[in-house]
Amino acid sequence: MTSTDPHTLTGAYSMDALPEAERREFERHLARCESCAVEVRELTATAERLALAAAAPPPSQLRRQVLREIAEVRQEPPPVSRTRRLGSRLRPGARALPMFALAASLAAALFGGVAVWQYESAQDARQHAEQREERAETLARVLSAPDARVRSGALPEGGTASVVVSRDADRAAFFAADLPRAPEGKVYQLWFSEGGTMRPAGLLSAAERGATVLMDGPVRDASAMGLTVEPDGGSPQPTSEPLTLLRLTGASGQA
Amino acid sequence: MRESARAARTAQPGPGLDGLLERVARGDQEAFAAVYDIVAEPLFGLVRGVLRDPAQSEEVAQEVLVEVWRSAPRFRPERGSAMSWVMTLAHRRAVDRVRSAQAASDREHRAALLDQAPAFDDVTEQVEARLEREQVRRCMRTLTEVQRQSITLAYYRGLTYREVAELLTLPLGTVKTRLRDGLIRLRDCLGVSA
């Protein structure tokens, strides 16, 4: 009944019982769902009570060790917004219009909906912020590359899939308009087709469904890219027929 | 639904943890020592419950405490109490450690988990912790067997809900739901308001 509702994940999330990928996806949902955020706050406070009940004295040397160590460790500055940097790095007038539109939607998708949740550990937060920023910069580079080429194709249930390839950057970006939500327990997965085999190129989380995403890994000699529906967590090899297969050959500017 | 009057009676391990953390955020090492004295026992107990190994637990507890120092400026009081924040950092870190160590998925170890009740340690000195333990035990008894097992395995043993489902041979949806409604029942029983 409620199994498709991300709300039911509040309990598992509050107890850190979500696998990494699902946790990130839920955090994106959380950033937009006020009632979930309230419930997570209450349930996290409840989990805290479970923690207090498990109290046990630490080894006596721990206090000394910790106090000695923190005297040497620099504290972090309070968090600051990183949204402005990306905008200034997108070169205006770089290429043709579609890429511009894609770049704009990318900036909105990457930064608009993503909030670093309190409960993400600070270390995670640092890493994720750096990874996000790196991906954003790579994606911006692909979209504005002089040799970028767009390929589009219709999806079986309506909507359009597009891929932007830069052979110079050796990376590709994917965008699907009006892609339906993946069935419960399933996820969209991207692939590069190379020499007759499919190489995994990342998952499309629910939140990324309408966004431009950087495909994982280099393009190398891939002749096409595909989109399939896979069981949650993705697959090493496609287990279903691709919804679309976009040819990348001929996209190379100088081959 | 909740009785806010009862809330935080025993949940507050010290009135000033939030205030202390604010001072820590400004680099106050003395305040940090006071924070240590409040959080060290629950933090260590929690980490050791998940990791079991005393040496690893000490190492992880130390990492978390240093992380509390380092990232105190990021603490956002409007998103929850300081104790919740510290316990969440600790739990998350312990769980990350146990999951990376278990990447090869050793099933024998996991099967052994089923036999174990939450490892409440009775040697703690803190009165609050003893009261807390009594209350949590009492409230845990109000849960259904599946709720109690799911919460114990997920929280005290650091399993993902998928691993819990596999271990208890239950559908994923059931475990998700039991984790949520079990925790909600505990919330109401413990009178938590956040």
Per-domain residue ranges for chain A?
A: 1-53, 86-143, 149-247
Which residues in chain B have Cβ-Cβ distances shorter than 8 Å to A125?
74
pLDDT at B63: 95
Name the minimum distance, in Å, from the CA of B20 to any CA of chain A: 15
**B35 and B24 Cβ atoms separated by less than 8 Å:** yes
pLDDT at site A67: 95
Mark which residues 138-197 of A lie under 8 Å from B by CB: 185
Helix (H, G, I), strand (E, B) or coil at B93: helix
The SS3 of residue B186 is helix
Domains of chain B, CATH where assigned: 13-103 (1.10.1740.10), 126-194 (1.10.10.10)
Range B144-171 average pLDDT: 91
Rounded Cα–Cα distance for residues B15 and B29 (Å) = 19
Per-residue pLDDT tens over the stretch B90-131:
999 999 888 776 644 454 455 555 555 555 555 445 566 677
Tell me what percent of the residues of chain A surpass a pLDDT of 90. Answer: 16
Q: Which two tokens stand for residue B72?
A: 């105190």
ipTM for the predicted complex: 0.82
Better-scored residue on pLDDT, A153 or A22: A22
SS3 label, residue A152: strand
The torsion region of residue A129 among left (phi > 0), alpha (psi -120 to 50) and beta comes to: alpha
Dihedral sign for Cα A32, A38, A39, A42, please.
positive
Pick from B187, B188, B189, B190 the residue to mutate for testing the A interface (most A CBs within 10 Å): B187
Tens digit of pLDDT for each residue in A90-99?
Answer: 333 333 344 4
Q: Which of A51-55, A92-96, A135-139, A149-153 has the lowest mean pLDDT?
A: A92-96
Greatest mean pLDDT range, A201-210, A232-241, B67-76: B67-76
Q: How far apart are CA B146 and CA B180, in angstroms?
A: 12
DSSP A169: T
| Distance in angstroms (rounded) separating the CA atoms of residues B159 and B139 | 21
Count of beta carbons in the 10 Å neighbourhood of residue A71 = 10
* CB atoms inside a 10 Å sphere around CB A80: 7
- Of B102, B64, B81, the residue nearest B21 (C-alpha): B81
Residue range B157-168: average pLDDT?
90
Answer CATH for A1-53 from 2.60.40, 1.10.287, 1.10.10, 3.90.105: 1.10.10
Is A165's pLDDT higher than 90? no
- Angle, vertex CA A189, rays to CA A186 and CA A190, nearest 5: 170
Q: What is the mean pLDDT of chain A?
A: 75
Residue of chain A whose alpha carbon sits nearest to that of B40: A58
What is the C-alpha separation between A176 and A40, in angstroms, rounded?
Answer: 31
- A window 195-254, beta carbon within 8 A of B: none
Does the beta-carbon distance from A56 to B48 stay under 8 Å? yes
Question: pLDDT band for position A86 (50/70/90)?
Answer: very low
What pLDDT sits at residue A252? 41
Chain B interface disruption, residue of A52, A60, A80, A126, most B CBs within 10 A: A52
Q: Give the pLDDT score at A205.
A: 79
Contact B48 A9 (CB under 8 A): no
DSSP-derived letter for residue B166 is: H
Q: Report the pLDDT value the prediction gives residue B3, as an integer from 0 to 100.
A: 37
With 60 as the cut, is the pLDDT of residue A2 above it?
no
**Alpha carbon of B107: minimum distance to chain A alpha carbons (Å):** 18
Q: How far is CA B131 from the centre of its chain?
A: 16
Count the alpha carbons within 13 Å of B26 in the hemisphere toward its beta carbon: 6
Query: Mutate which of B12, B71, B97 to disrupt the A interface (most A C-beta within 10 Å)?
Result: B71
Whether A3 has a pLDDT exceeding 50, the answer reads no
Please list the alpha-helical segments (H only) found in A54-182. 61-70, 83-89, 97-107, 122-143
Report the candidate in B134, B192, B159 with the shortest Cα–Cα distance to residue A40. Answer: B192
The yes-or-no verdict on residue A83 having pLDDT over 60 is: no
Contact residues, chain A, for B120 at CB < 8 Å: 53-54
Alpha carbons A162 and A173: distance in angstroms, whole number: 8
Question: What is the predicted pLDDT for the residue at B41?
Answer: 92
Alpha-carbon A147 to chain mean position? 25
- Give the model's pLDDT for residue B20: 93
> Per the CB < 8 Å rule, is B137 touching A54?
no
What was the pLDDT predicted at B132? 79
Report the pLDDT value the prediction gives residue B104, as an integer from 0 to 100: 41
pLDDT of residue A212: 77
- A48 contacts in chain B (CB < 8 Å): 11, 81, 83-84, 87-88
Torsional sign, CA A63, A64, A67, A69: negative
C-alpha B80/C-alpha B194 separation (Å) is 7
Q: Which amino acid is at B95?
A: V
Model confidence over A106-119: pLDDT tens digits?
444 443 333 334 44
Chain A residue whose CA is closest to B160: A17
- Residue B62 has a pLDDT of 96
Give the residue carrying structure tokens 């040697």. B123
Contact B166, B52 (CB under 8 A): no
Mutate: best of A8, A9, A16, partner B, most B CBs <10 A: A16
User: How far away is chain A from the Cα of B115, in angstroms, using its nearest Cα?
Assistant: 18
Encoded tokens for A99: 């890429």
Per-residue pLDDT tens over the stretch A17-34? 999 889 988 988 888 888
Please report, for residues A38, A45, B92, B143, the alpha-carbon distance to residue B194 in angstroms, rounded to integers and kept in the order given: 8, 6, 20, 21
Which residue has better confidence, A195 or B129? A195
Name the DSSP letter for residue B102: T
- Report whether B94 contacts B60 (CB < 8 A): yes
CB A187 within 8 A of CB A77: no
CB contact under 8 A, A62 and B194: no
Q: Which residue has the tokens 């002749």?
A: A223
Q: Which residue of A has its CA nearest to B81?
A: A45
Structure confidence at residue B14 (pLDDT): 44
DSSP H or E run through A247: strand A244-247
Q: Are A198 and A241 in contact (CB under 8 A)?
A: no
pLDDT, residue B23, reads 92
Q: Which residue has the higher pLDDT, A212 or B27?
A: B27
Asked whether B80 and A41 are in contact (CB, 8 A), the reply is yes
- Alpha-carbon distance of B173 to B156, in angstroms, equals 21
Residues of chain A with C-beta less than 8 angstroms from the C-beta of B27:
75
